[in-house]
Structure 1
Amino acid sequence: MASTMSPAIPQVERNGLDVARMTATVAALKADPALAQFEFRARNRWVTGGENRSTIQDFRGAGAEDTSRTVAFEFTNGEPPVLLGRNEGANPVEFLLHALAGCVTTTTVLHATARGIELESIRTRLTGTIDLQGLLALADVPAGYEGIRIEMDVRAKNATEAELDELIGFAKAHSPVCNTVCRPVPVIVERMRL
């Protein structure tokens, strides 16, 4: 019995990403920009004091509801004792730093991969300053971060310092979380029954 086999397409990974899948995804989005529209969701419930829990599971993207997650991710938000909590978990402004670090790192890896840069390591340190007088309405100052500093140590096998600097600048401009934090984004908060 004769069988025909198609030649194997070598799977090329760079920085832990499948280059062929990445290329196919970009081509699909160029061919049908509607596939690029995503809706992410989170749900939250208050537990007690400063403790509350968020669950994240479902989202819509690539033209369909995603069903790949059978179990929700759960995150506990808490506060340190100095802010009336019991260290139940990181507080929301710390989670914002976590989200920012994760997104800038992932964006850096994605675009390094597209540029053929082979990364050795990325380490990031974030610091943000807040004046709690804004939260407590004690002074006319912003209630959120006054500034955030991201320090990145990016090392690669085949990139110059100038190429890495340009990559980091590009990642800052194209990271969805960084872009959201760096520009005014409308947020609607409304009371309703869930």
Structure 2
Amino acid sequence: MWWGETPVPLKEEIERQTGGIEALSRFYRRELSVQAGTRVQSFELAFVDVAFPAMLGLAPQAGDLAQALARPDALALTADMAQRLFGGQDVVGRTVSIALRPYRVAAVLPDRPRNSAFRFDALASTTSSAWDTRELAFREWGHHGGQLYLELAHGADLAAMGGACSRSSTPPPGAPSSSRPAASTAMPPKSA
């Protein structure tokens, strides 16, 4: 069976066991409520690793995206979300609240095309405290909910990389796991 999601700890296993990778990032999206002053909005917050912006060619229209992804108490808003929360896009340095915790807006990003596979209203670090299930996700191999993207180094052997990634998707001995299996490319047999 194939799951469209990967266990969060897979990134570290691939880094440990595999060469030929230029960049690697998780993309774990959650729908949360965010507050700025008296305005409350539902939004999609994507938790990503620091390599993510370079992999997609993302550049902020204001602020410091690297800082937004380096700090657990910071985030980057899209221009549309900044407008909805604050009534404008000059918001770098302002504060929003998620689950009653403050987060500093460190950058504003251009809006993504509506047909993008990477939909989000804000980006935050995979170390962000806004990721309320983070500890479980990083500890348990059966916890799914995001994607893992990798960019191969020039000249990397794609077949060898596929085999290495397949081997890496098996939890290491003793790793906690839920009853849901890790991602697999094996398809169930067709019934007669």
TM-score band w.r.t. shorter chain: under 0.3
Whose helix fraction is larger, Structure 1's or Structure 2's? 1
Q: Which one has the largest radius of gyration? A: 1
- Bigger relative CO (Cα 8 Å, ≥ 6 apart): 2
Whose strand fraction is larger, Structure 1's or Structure 2's? 2
TM-score scaled by length of structure 1 = 0.25
